[in-house]
Structure 1
Amino acid sequence: MKKYIQYLFLLFSVSVITLSSCTNADDFEIPPFTHPFFNEDFTNQTAGSGSEDVPVAISGVINTNTTNLPVWGVRSFSNNKYMQFSSFYSEANTSDNVWFILPGAPVEANQNITLNFDLAQAFPVGTFPLNVYYSTDFDGDAANINQAVWSSISLNFPSATPNYEFVRIKNMNYLNESTNKQTVYIALVYKGAKTGGASTTVQVDNIKLIIN
């Protein structure tokens, strides 16, 4: 009986080895993981509070208001940090054109850029003020923003969400259809006004820019 059991065990072992040797290695190939070119959750930023605003300051990022003084600031709630802007806190009879430009992404021919981020709003007034643009001729100098050509990327954000509830904005894409390598700049731009315009509070978190 013992020999019979040993024989069955040997037969089973040979069968397993045979099946394993017939398995194609490609069946278990792990798909490549694409590291984000830019990945920011504002954890290492200093958050403001109350009336004290602390501007977002990230290496390689442009944070500027081309028409006024306030810029994107860092805020914190429930131990989560994010960037925020609202024209409600600007001076009366002024307008805001607040740019948050990500570092220039080197994109080869036929490569794609994918932008993902979390977005929330509060106290909506007027047209939703956040826009997303890209440029292939911007030189990276904040003084030359208005000299570059900026094209819009559609932002599919729900028209009505509860105050401060983050929604994931996914797969905003730019494809380099040219045969040349390009440096592509992606910008999140708040366009609003304190008086008679859009002053909705906008919050942005977990920004990821992926080249694939």
Structure 2
Amino acid sequence: MKINKLTTLLFASLSMGILSSCVNDDDTNLPEYTPLIFGENFSEGADNTLFEKEGWTNFAEAGTVRWTNQVFSGNGYAEFTTFQSGQASNIGWLITPSINLDAQEGEKLVFQVAQAFVDNAANTIEVLISTDYDGTNVTAATWQSLNATLPTVNSVRYEFIKSGVIDLSRYTGTAHIAFKVKGNGTTLDGTYQVDNIRVYN
């Protein structure tokens, strides 16, 4: 049986101590790489609201669930959850604004990601890159998977883990990074959270 976010986190905080998603951004931020090409720590959105920010795409490919802003203990992050969606399929994309990969060399990507109640390997998150996405037609673009460290069904709930350093240097032109989650409202109804995205060189 699932319980709501607040109850879960309060119980976990009492029984296990401080969770990594229960601290301020100052404690969880990745280093401010120089030069920073692109960065997002999701600190501007109000808790439990639809994520809407200029240049970003928040797209529901299947179902109606989209990414939201969430804030816990002063830390903001983006979240996609299909819990109680009531839908047979949910596929949600969160896509960054355009990133110019021709203005410098040796670009690298890092971010943090957490899961909660993901107990089926088919309830997935993928990290993808496109250099032909036009900002509108998500499924018409060519997307390539990026090799990142991502949570599994065995990962500690609500604990942000580092993606590892992802080399983007072989890509050129204007790129977009996408976080794509697949789930549904019954057997694949877990939660994914993304924070502290950085592209640097």
The residue aligned with 1:209 is 199
The residue aligned with 1:132 is 127
- Aligned amino acid, residue 183 of structure 1: T
SS class of match (1:209): strand
Encode CA deviations 1:21-77: one digit per residue, 9 max, x unaligned: xxxxxxxxxxxx6232221112111112xxxxx111121111111222121111111
Cα distance, 1:89 vs structure 2: 3.1
Matched, 1:195 2:190: no
2:90 to 66, 87, 96: 96
Contact (CA 8 Å) 2:110, 2:199: kept in 1 or not? yes
Encode CA deviations 1:147-172: one digit per residue, 9 max, x unaligned: 11111112222532221111121312
Q: How many angstroms apart in 2 are the aligned matches of 1:173 and 1:96?
A: 29
What TM-score does the superposition give when structure 1 sets the normalisation length? 0.72
Structure 1 residue runs without a partner (length 5+)? 1-32, 49-53
Aligned pair in 2 of structure 1 residues 112, 140: CA closer, same or farther (>3 Å)? Answer: farther
More moved, 118-127 vs 34-43 = 34-43
| Identical residues among aligned pairs (%) | 31
What TM-score does the superposition give when structure 2 sets the normalisation length? 0.75
The residue aligned with 1:4 is none
Contact (CA 8 Å) 2:127, 2:180: kept in 1 or not? yes
Cα distance, 1:199 vs structure 2: 2.2
SS class of match (1:175): coil
The residue aligned with 2:46 is 46
Structure 2 residue runs without a partner (length 5+)? 1-32
The residue aligned with 2:162 is 168
Q: How many angstroms apart in 1 are the aligned matches of 2:62 and 2:56?
A: 18
Paired positions, count:
167
Cα distance, 1:109 vs structure 2: 8.5
Q: How many angstroms apart in 1 are the aligned matches of 2:78 and 2:59?
A: 13
